[in-house]
Structure 1
Amino acid sequence: MNIRKNIFSILSFVLALCLRDQLNALTPCIYNLNPKGIIDLTSVGRMDGTPAWKNVHPEISDKHVYSYNPCHSFTQYTCINVAACQAYETDEKLVYSLGNQNSMQWEVQTGKDIVTLVYNSLERKLSVYLNCLKPGEPNKLEVHGYDSVAKIFTMTLSSECACWDGCKNGPTPPKLPNKLGGGAVFILILVILTTIYLIGFMTFNKFQRHESGINILPHRQFWIALPGYALDGILFTLRKVTSKGTTYTAV
């Protein structure tokens, strides 16, 4: 009887270890390891049926390119509803699936809490290592290629969302300048004042002077004559610089 209990306890322990990661996996996007935190890749992958990374060359050329989209499925030629796809460099229509989202398993190294995403297809296996980035740093994918010893394709996905609780409430938005430059402030003020000037005088001309058509414009005659005044000023300056006489008439 004790032998049966011991065997049952051992089997239960092994089964718990095997299922631990999958019990913590809420979806192919989210993994919850209390009290360590949550890894949420929802915002990393594209949701329009295309990969976030398309035709990426590996570190050492193997005459192939690789596409990958975490969390959400994509289609690339005959790679239909996959998470990752391999294609020939010379013929991108010749493709092979590296696994779909439903095949993904979360693997966490005990004690280190280092997370790896493992995908399987009929003939290929892919491991994607997660690398934690600082808030605001851009997502990056490194393709390492095929490991002939382990017989597995490997990549590294670097993202703020690969950190524990890094994207628990969504990714950190990029930082924007907290103030405008002097030139931008001047242009903004000029635009505002010009708008006030036009609206104010056009309203006055229409309702107080009962003007209509082009006459509603403020100081119309001055603005029509202004280009001529400007040209006279330029010619006057040029004649002064070239020491020629001038018949400039003051306005």
Structure 2
Amino acid sequence: YVQRDQHGDMHVSGSSGQIFFQICNPPKQQCASQVAVPAAVNTWAQAGTGPKCAVTGSLPTASWSLQDPSDAKGGVKLTYTDGDESRTTVIVLDCDPSVSGTSVHATGELIEKPRLTYTVHVAAGDACPIVPKGLSWGWITIILLIVFLVVYFVGGTAYNVKVKQPPEEGMNVIPQWAYWQLLPGLIKDGCVFSWKRGRYLARNAPREIREWYRGRNSKELTTPIAAAAE
């Protein structure tokens, strides 16, 4: 299993110990090495000599590639080279939509073939391609509206010129031209009415509500209702 230790390193166990890495940063695991900026560190226990370690890749050599160039859903591959004794680390991020965010809790496998090449397979949701989303209902509505307007004006104009007898002339070739001339004024009247009505309600709504409530309980209203109920 891929786990994260207290220092923030991800590590996975293999037949020759553990390998520590942080994908885009040097691991916190210390190891004496000639590699200036390590990308991954392998630790193991050797009988008679105690714990050993080796840097298995240099961070500046990081190289990203698709596992399958013809299928982006196959995941990506991160390769680090130039480790101690020419060690190489390959971190294979397999696309797994069920894994959210980083793949710390995903399963991992450490393979050491060929010799001094360390391959870690990690399931990760972040390794999946971003699938373009389809058009929203808003854009579909706008597109349909544009298509309708084009058909309406172009088709209506063609009808008024080619089919209608006698054919229309001038601006009258536009479908319902008289209505379109009135439309700006109608919109203005509607806006003015809404503004005035809104201001009136804002000033008088509390008073009208009180009067309405009082009217509901007035004798003039309740007496006829009670009589009808009897």
Report the TM-score when normalising by structure 2. Answer: 0.35
Greater Rg over alpha carbons, structure: 2
Structure whose residues are more often helix by fraction:
2
